[in-house]
Structure 1
Amino acid sequence: MHHRPSPRPRPPATRPLLGFGAVLGAILATLTALLAAPAQARGAGDAIGVPRTHTGLAHPERDWLGSSVAAHEGRSTGGDSVTAAASSVPRTPGFDVSNWQGKVDWNAAYKKGARFAYIKATEGTTYKDPTFNANYTNSYYAGFIRGAYHFARPDSSGGKAQADYFVSHGGGWSKDGKTLPPLLDIEYPEGAACYGLSQSQMRGWISAFLTEVHAKTTRWATIYTTTAWWKKCTGNTSLYSANHPLFIARYASTPGTLPGWPFYSFWQHADSGTFPGDQDYFNGPISGLRNLANNE
C-alpha cells in the first residue's frame, strides 16, 4: 500500500496593514450585515412584527397536539367518556400521536375501533418528529385515514417559513381518501401570552401559514385550538371558518362553546383513553371523513 506524503505547511501569507479608514469601513460593513440579517431571513408573506428573540426550540420532543391544554384549561372528565347526548351523534373515533408515545401498535388500535389519526411531523423550522415517518407509513398500512400536523411556534419564525418547512417534511398531500388535510396546531405558549403577538399579528401569522400551505399543497389546512385561546389571541376571528376545518380541544363531555366556526370537524375530548395518545372524534361518519381526505 502506498502512502502519499503529507503536504508541507504553507507559511502564513502577509497582508499590508489597513489604515484607520479601512478598518472603520470594515466594522461598519459587518454591523450593517448583522442588522440586515433578520429581514433577509424573513420570507415574503411572513407576518410583519413577529418577535425573533426565541430562535431556538427548547424541547420540541415534549410538544404535541394539546400538550398545553390541560395545564391551562383543566379536565372535567377523565378518560374517553362522553355524554349520552353527544354519543347519539354519528362520529368516527381516532387519536393523535407524536414521539411521546414511542412505538405505536397501529394494528391493535385499528382493531379497537380507531379509524383516523393525526401525527406530529414538525415544529418551527428545524424540528422533524423522529417517529413521523414510521407512524405515517405504518398507520397507512394498518388501514387508517391519517394526516400530519405542525406544532406552531410564532415566536421563532414567520408563518410562511414554518409552512414551507412543514410541507417539505410532513408527508404526501394527495387527495386519495386516505390523507387528511394538513393540520396547524396552535395553542398556549410557555412564555408570554399569545407568543408576545397582538391579535392582529397573530392573525397575520396564521394567514401567512395557511396561505402558503394551500399554495404548496392545494389543501385547506385544519386548525387545532381551544375556544379560550382563540378568543384571547385572535379576537375570536371567523376569518378561516369558510375553508379551514376546526379541530377543537376540550377535555369534557361536550365540545362546549366553539370559537369563530359554526361547527367543528374534529374534537380532542381527552388526553388519555382507549387509544394511544389523545382521544379524538371526527364529527360525522367515516364516509364524511373520506370526503374530507379527498378535499371535498
Structure 2
Amino acid sequence: MRFSAVSAIVLACLTVSGCGSSSSRNNVTAEQPSRETTSSVARAASPVPSANVGAIASQAPPQQEMLAWARPAPEAQAFAPVSRTIGMPVPSERPIAMITPDNPAIEATPGTRGQIYGHRFRDAKPINFGSRSPRKLAVHGVDVSRWQGEINWEKLRTQGANFAYIKATDGGDHLDPMFKKNWRKAKQAGLKRGAYHFFYWCRTAGEQADWFIRNVPREADALPPVIDVEWNGESSCKRRPSRERVLEKMRVFMDKLERHYGQRPIIYTAPDFYRDNLRGELLDYPFWLRSVAAHPSKVYPGRKWIFWQYSGSGLSHGVDGRIDLNVFHGSEEDWHDWVAARST
C-alpha cells in the first residue's frame, strides 16, 4: 500500500515533467526561422563599387535653336524590351528582411532621376570656344574603346562622365576586346551608356548590322546605338564609295538596328566625311558631331545635333592617357526628359 502510493506520486510527476518538456521544445522550434528558400526570392548580387558624391553642375541656358532630339521610332514600343518578374510573388504576410550591401550600386532606381556630376575634366590641348563653350552645358560624358585600357568607372563618373558611348564593333567580324567589361562596369558605376559601331566600307551593311546585334544586348536603359561614319586613312579598307552608295549603305544598317532595338540610331561623323556625304541629308536622324576646334554651328552650319565631341585630348582621374570628351545639347532637365523618352 505505501509502495503503491509512492509509485503513483512518482508516475504523476514524470507525466507532468514530460508534458512541460514537450511544450518547451515546441516553443523553441516555432521561434526559429525556416532555412528553406524559394526561387521567388532573389539573392543579392555581389556588391559593386560606390562613387563619391560630387557637386551638381549649374544649369546653363540651352541653345534651343540647335536641339535635335530623336523621338522614338513609331514602331519602338513593339520592340522595346519587357521587364518581367520571374518566380512566385513573396506572400505579403511574411515580409523578408533584405540586407543592404556594404557598397550599394549607385544606379538610380527606375522612374527616378540620377545625379548629374559637374564637369571636372582637364584637357591636354584646351581650346577657347568663346561664349559658346561646352563648359556652359550641363551634362558631359565620354566615349571609350580598348585604347583606354582598364578604366576606373567610379572615379570617371565623379569627374563628370554622366554618360559613356562604348566601342562595340567594327566591320563584320571585330569585337572590341574591352566592350563587355566596359559595358558592365559603366552600368555598375551608374553611367548611362550606349554602344557604337565603326562602319567599314568594304563589308556589306547587312553583315555589319547583324554583327552589332549579335554582340550588343538589347536593354531598356541603354542609350540609342550609334553608327560611326568617317574616312579613316589608317584602315585597311581604302574604298570611298559615292555619296549615293554611302547613304544607301547607312540606311540599310540603321534600319536594321532600329527594328531590333526600337530606337533610331545616332549618326557620329567628322567634318570631312560630313562635307562629302551628309550635308543636307538624313534630316530625320539625330547627329553626334566631332568639332574640336570650333563650335558645331561653324563647322556644320544649319545641322541640328544632340551630342558634341569637343575634345580628343581629355584628361581625367580613372583613365590613363587621353580620352574623348562630349557634351549633351541641353540642360539637366532636358537630359532627364530625353533619357526617360529613350527608356520607355
TM tier relative to shorter chain? 0.5 to 0.7
Judged with a 3 Å threshold, the aligned counterparts in structure 2 of structure 1 residues 131 and 235 are, in CA distance, closer, same or farther, namely closer
Aligned residues: 213
Match of 2:185 among 138, 141, 152: 138
Q: Can you list the C-alpha shifts for 1:173-198, whole angstroms capped at 9, x where unaligned?
A: 42x3xx21000011112269983311
Report whether the alignment pairs 1:187 with 2:233.
Answer: no
Local SS of the residue matching 1:252: coil
Written as runs of structure 1 = structure 2, the 5 A alignment for 1:50-69 is none
Residues 225 and 261 of structure 1: is their aligned pair in 2 closer, same or farther, counting only changes over 3 Å? Answer: farther
Counterpart of 1:216 in structure 2 is 260
Structure 2 Cα separation of the partners of residues 235 and 254 of structure 1: 18
TM-aligned CA deviation for residue 226 of structure 1: 1.9
Match of 1:283 in 2: 329
Q: Residues 216 and 261 of structure 1: is their aligned pair in 2 closer, same or farther, counting only changes over 3 Å?
A: farther
CA distance in 2, matches of 1:100, 1:169: 19
CA distance in 1, matches of 2:252, 2:213: 14
The two structures, once aligned, show a CA RMSD in angstroms of 2.5
Mark the CA change 1:105 to 1:98 in structure 2 (over 3 Å): closer, same or farther.
Answer: same
Tell me by how many angstroms 1:256 deviates.
3.8
- 2:230 maps to a residue whose letter is E
In the TM superposition, what is the alpha-carbon distance from 1:259 to its structure 2 partner?
A: 4.2
Question: Residue 247 of structure 1 corresponds to which residue in structure 2?
Answer: 288
Give yes or no for contact 2:228–2:268 (8 Å, CA) kept in 1: yes
| 1:237-276 to 2 correspondences below 5 Å | 237-238=280-281, 240-242=282-284, 244-257=285-298, 259=300, 262-275=303-316, 276=319
Relative to structure 1, the CA distance from residue 134 to residue 200 in structure 2 (aligned partners, 3 Å threshold; closer, same or farther) is: same
- Partner letter of residue 250 of structure 1? S
Aligned counterpart in structure 2 of residue 119 of structure 1, from 153, 166, 169: 166
Structure 1: gaps (5+ residues): 1-76
Shift of 1:285: 2.5
Give the 3 Å change call, closer, same or farther, for CA 93–80 of structure 1 in structure 2: farther
1:110 CA displacement = 1.0
- Report Cα offsets for 1:105-137 as digits up to 9, x if no partner: 111111112201100000111111111111111
Pairing of 1:141-160 with structure 2 (within 5 A): 141-155=188-202, 157-160=203-206
TM-score scaled by length of structure 1: 0.65
**1:257 alignment partner AA:** K
AA in 2 matched with 1:168: R
Whether the aligned pair in 2 keeps the contact of 1:136 and 1:171 (CA below 8 Å) is no
TM-score (norm 2): 0.57
Contact 2:140 2:326 survives alignment (8 Å): yes
Distance 1:241 1:194 in 2: 28
Deviation at 1:167, TM superposition (A): 1.6
After superposition, the Cα gap between the structure-2 partners of 1:95 and 1:134, relative to the gap in structure 1 and judged at 3 Å, is same
How much identity, in percent, do the aligned residues show?
26
In the alignment, residue 215 of structure 1 is paired with which amino acid? R
Range 80-89 or range 158-167, more displaced: 80-89
Deviations 1:195-247 (A, max 9, x none): 33111000101010111111111110000002331121x25242x222x2110
Q: Distance in 2 between matches of 1:142 and 1:202?
A: 37
Aligned partner (choices 221, 227, 236) of residue 271 of structure 2: 227
- Give the C-alpha shift of residue 143 in structure 1: 1.1
Instruction: Point out 4+ residue stretches in structure 1 off by more than 4 angstroms.
Output: 191-194, 258-261
Equivalent residue, structure 2, for 1:170: 216
Q: Report Cα offsets for 1:64-102 as digits up to 9, x if no partner.
A: xxxxxxxxxxxxx92475433335753311111000010
State whether residues 224 and 246 of structure 1, in contact with CA within 8 Å, keep that contact through their aligned partners in structure 2: yes
Q: Which amino acid aligns with 2:226?
A: L
CA–CA separation in structure 1 for the residues paired with 2:169 and 2:302: 26
Alignment of 1:207 with 2:251, yes or no, is yes
State the 1:258 CA deviation: 5.3
Distance 1:128 1:192 in 2: 16
State the match for 2:151 in structure 1: 104
Bigger Rg over Cα: 2
Is the aligned partner of 1:91 residue 2:132? no
CA distance in 2, matches of 1:92, 1:84: 17
- Give secondary structure in 1 for the equivalent of 2:141: strand
Deviation digits for residues 136-177 of structure 1 (CA, Å, limit 9, x no counterpart): 11111111011000011022x111221111122123342x3x
Which stretch of the first structure deviates more once superposed, 261-270 or 126-135?
261-270
- How far apart are the structure 1 equivalents of 2:287 and 2:252? 18
Tell me: CA distance 1:101–1:145, structure 2 relative to 1, closer, same or farther (3 Å).
same
Change (3 A) 1:194 1:294: farther
